[in-house]
């Protein structure tokens, strides 16, 4: 069971980069090179992010993409929803025909509880939080200026 598809993962990483370079347009080309994401695939996914109002773009030379919302306002739960659909049990099997039989209902009850737990966790992790983790890992936050290797 794969929690994140490549597309969602790529989107998160692209947003991490846009969120780190605020107020400048970053080209798909540079994101692609920096994050090692297939160029055209990235282009498509950025268009989806635009459609969902998460980023804005500027066409032409020196154009590119920029965050539209605050990084803290973008939980990865939202990105999962955009690219993989809402976290749900079993293809609306339960929601469509509630209580078609008992077993289904009992299972549904437990699974929906888990669904909530999962969503709550994914909601807690925002792009902003990830950027701060990233900065901390690189020693950016306290002006120490130096980065450790791995």
Partner DNA sequence: TATAACTGATACTATATTGATATCAATTAA
Partner DNA sequence: TTAATTGATATCAATATAGTATCAGTTATA
Residue 146 binds which entry of a copy of itself, DNA, none, CB below 5-8 Å type-dependent: none
Contact criterion met (CB below 8 Å) for 121 and 86: no
Cα distance between residue 35 and residue 31, in whole Å: 6
Question: Rounded to 10 degrees, what is the CA torsion of 22, 63, 27, 25?
Answer: 0
Sign for the CA dihedral angle at 91, 95, 98, 102 comes to: positive
The minimum distance between CB 98 and a copy of itself, in angstroms, equals 7
The minimum distance between CB 19 and a copy of itself, in angstroms, equals 10
**In this complex, which beta carbon is closest to DNA, that of residue 5 or of residue 138?**
5
Residues 6 to 25 in contact with DNA, rule: CB under 7 A: 6-7, 10, 25
Cα distance between residue 39 and residue 91, in whole Å: 32
Residues 26 to 45 in contact with DNA, rule: CB under 7 A: 27-29, 38-41, 43-44
Residue 41 binds which entry of a copy of itself, DNA, none, CB below 5-8 Å type-dependent: DNA
Which residues in this chain contact a copy of itself in the complex, by CB under 8 A? 1-6, 8-9, 12-13, 16-17, 35-36, 80, 84-91, 93, 98-107, 109-111, 113-115, 117-118, 121-122, 125, 129-130, 133-134, 137-138, 150
């Amino acid at each position: 069971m794969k929690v994140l598809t490549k597309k969602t993962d790529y989107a998160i990483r692209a947003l991490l980069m846009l969120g780190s370079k605020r107020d400048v347009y970053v080209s798909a080309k540079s994101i692609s090179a920096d994050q090692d994401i297939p160029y055209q695939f990235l282009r498509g996914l950025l268009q989806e992010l635009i459609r969902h109002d998460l980023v804005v773009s500027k066409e032409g030379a020196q154009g590119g993409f920029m965050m539209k919302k605050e990084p803290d306002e973008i939980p990865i739960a939202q990105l999962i929803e955009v690219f993989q659909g809402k976290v749900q049990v079993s293809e609306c099997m339960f929601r469509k025909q509630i209580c078609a039989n008992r077993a289904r209902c009992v299972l549904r009850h437990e699974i929906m509880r888990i669904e909530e737990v999962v969503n709550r966790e994914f909601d807690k992790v925002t792009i902003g939080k990830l950027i701060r983790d990233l900065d901390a890992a690189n020693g950016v936050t306290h002006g120490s200026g130096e980065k450790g290797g791995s």
